[in-house]
């Protein structure tokens, strides 16, 4: 009997050990896929710990259909009518990486992308041709996973993903001014009585000399007791102003960059309790851009340049005169190759002002009314052209090859400055000639400002 009891004890131990070993191997499933579990005896109750990761469908006491919903781990328990354990196991739901890889190969046949399930997440690795392809892979994987939270992105982009933007802003402003008027004064005296008529200028004393600064013709006569003094004002001027800015900016693909060459002016903002806050508004040449590197060295560029300047007109806020801004801006998105350019032109502005000052009634007389009128004509024309050129760039490994305008500059002595009028001493760029190949060793300072010019 003792041998028989010993035999049953060993057999029970072996069975329990086998059960523990079998339960140590988790039940692995892919998302949106299922498996049928055959139970050793009928089950009355079936429980699953996290129904959002996996769920069950029980159609028979002897079979359980388990299917995966999302990446993660959970447990399943089945009990009989006596509340004894019939089946228990750990369910591990994976992402089904093979389906991911097949989908990516169809869309990006040149890519080398692999997916690997780790715990409750998925790691995506490989090389892509552009940041746009990397975003496409992430979006596709997120749609298959149902969420981007469980996605670990380890993609590498071939080549550079930095873009340098060279912008040339050129503005030409032309002003034309024409003035023509006859300023007539006549004085009639009779004893202590005098009568005068003045047009186009302030009233002057009859005994004072009538003078006018500027371009004018003066006529004066004294027939009898009348003094006639007239000044013909004739002025025509033309001016030309050019403005040029060349900002260069470098930004990572998908990141925004901005530039401003100008200034800020304060604006008082009244607050509660008599407190005045100050806000600053920018003006000058500004630029905002966001580049995105595409495949085959193509660049999608969202660029928004702006040119603004202070005007003579002003508004009054809290007793302070605040200048207004004259602003021209443009915003566009284009696709270019590295080194290609596009221009934003046609930003024209034409302001025409025509003022006539005249003596009431007399200035309306045909022909003779010209003697009693003053005409002021002003025409302001401006044209703005913006040229944008993006480049795909890499960092410079040797910093010594980067030049600055101060390279090669040496302060002259008092003897050279006073006697010879030298502002600098021309010399190589602080290095021995031939140290670098090409024209770098030939660069010197040219002209009094000391700019480095490329020949």
DSSP secondary structure letter of residue 92: E
Q: Which of 252, 225, 92 is nearest to 161 (CA)?
A: 252
Are 29 and 68 in contact by the 8 Å Cβ rule? The answer is: yes
Specify the domain boundaries for CATH 2.60.40.1380 within the chain.
27-94
pTM score, whole prediction: 0.48
| CATH architecture for the domain at 97-157 | 2-Layer Sandwich (3.30)
Question: Is the CATH number 2.60.40.1380 carried by domain 27-94?
Answer: yes
pLDDT tens-place values along the chain, 455 residues long: 555 555 555 555 454 444 443 444 678 888 778 888 888 888 888 999 888 888 988 888 888 899 988 878 889 999 988 888 889 898 888 777 777 777 778 877 777 788 777 766 778 888 877 777 787 888 877 776 666 656 788 887 776 678 888 888 777 777 766 666 655 555 455 555 544 544 444 434 444 344 444 454 444 555 554 444 555 555 556 666 665 677 788 888 888 888 887 888 888 887 887 788 888 888 887 888 888 888 777 888 888 888 787 777 777 776 777 888 888 788 888 888 888 888 877 667 676 666 666 657 666 666 555 555 666 666 777 777 778 888 888 777 777 777 776 666 677 788 877 887 777 666 554 444 444 444 444 444 444 444 444 44
β partners of residue 266: 280
Domain(s) labelled CATH 3.30.300.90 in the chain stretch across 97-157
Contact 130, 136 (CB under 8 A): no
């Amino acid at each position: 009997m003792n041998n028989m009891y010993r035999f049953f004890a060993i057999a029970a131990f072996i069975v329990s050990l086998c059960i523990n070993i079998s339960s140590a191997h988790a039940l692995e499933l892919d998302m949106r896929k299922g498996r049928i579990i055959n139970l050793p005896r009928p089950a009355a109750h079936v429980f699953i710990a996290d129904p959002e990761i996996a769920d069950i469908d029980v159609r028979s006491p002897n079979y359980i259909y388990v299917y995966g919903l999302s990446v993660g781990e959970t447990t399943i328990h089945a009990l009989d009518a006596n509340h004894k354990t019939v089946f228990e196991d750990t369910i591990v739901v994976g992402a089904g990486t093979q389906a991911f890889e097949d989908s990516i190969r169809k869309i990006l046949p040149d890519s080398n992308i692999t997916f690997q399930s780790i715990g409750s997440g998925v790691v995506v690795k490989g090389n892509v041709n552009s940041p746009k392809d990397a975003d496409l892979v992430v979006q596709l994987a997120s749609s298959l996973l149902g969420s981007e939270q469980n996605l670990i992105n380890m993609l590498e982009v071939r080549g550079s993903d930095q873009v340098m933007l060279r912008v040339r802003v050129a503005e030409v402003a032309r002003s034309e001014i024409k003035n023509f008027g006859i300023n007539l004064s006549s004085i009639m005296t009779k004893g202590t009585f005098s009568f005068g008529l003045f047009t186009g200028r302030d009233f002057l004393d009859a005994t004072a000399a009538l003078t006018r600064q500027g371009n004018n013709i003066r006529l004066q006569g004294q027939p009898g007791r009348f003094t006639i003094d007239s000044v013909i004002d004739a002025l025509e001027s033309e001016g030309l102003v050019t403005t040029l800015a060349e900002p260069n900016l470098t930004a990572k693909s998908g990141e925004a960059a901005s530039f401003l060459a100008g200034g800020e002016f304060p604006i008082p903002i009244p607050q509660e309790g008599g407190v005045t806050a100050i806000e600053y508004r920018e003006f000058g040449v500004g630029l905002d851009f966001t580049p995105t590197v595409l495949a085959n060295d193509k660049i999608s560029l969202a660029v928004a340049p702006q040119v603004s300047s202070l005007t003579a007109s002003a508004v009054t806020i809290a007793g302070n005169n605040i200048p207004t801004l004259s602003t021209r801006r443009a915003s566009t998105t284009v696709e270019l190759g590295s080194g290609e350019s596009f221009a934003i032109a046609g930003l024209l502005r034409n302001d025409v002002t025509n003022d006539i000052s005249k003596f009431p009634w007399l200035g309306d007389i045909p022909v003779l009314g010209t003697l009693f009128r003053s005409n002021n004509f002003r025409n302001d024309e401006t044209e703005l052209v913006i040229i944008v050129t993006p480049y795909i760039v890499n960092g410079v490994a040797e910093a010594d090859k980067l030049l600055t305008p101060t390279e090669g500059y040496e302060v002259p002595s008092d003897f050279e400055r006073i006697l010879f009028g030298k502002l600098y001493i021309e010399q190589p760029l602080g290095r021995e000639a031939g140290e670098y190949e090409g024209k770098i060793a030939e660069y010197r300072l040219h002209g009094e400002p000391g700019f480095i010019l490329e020949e």
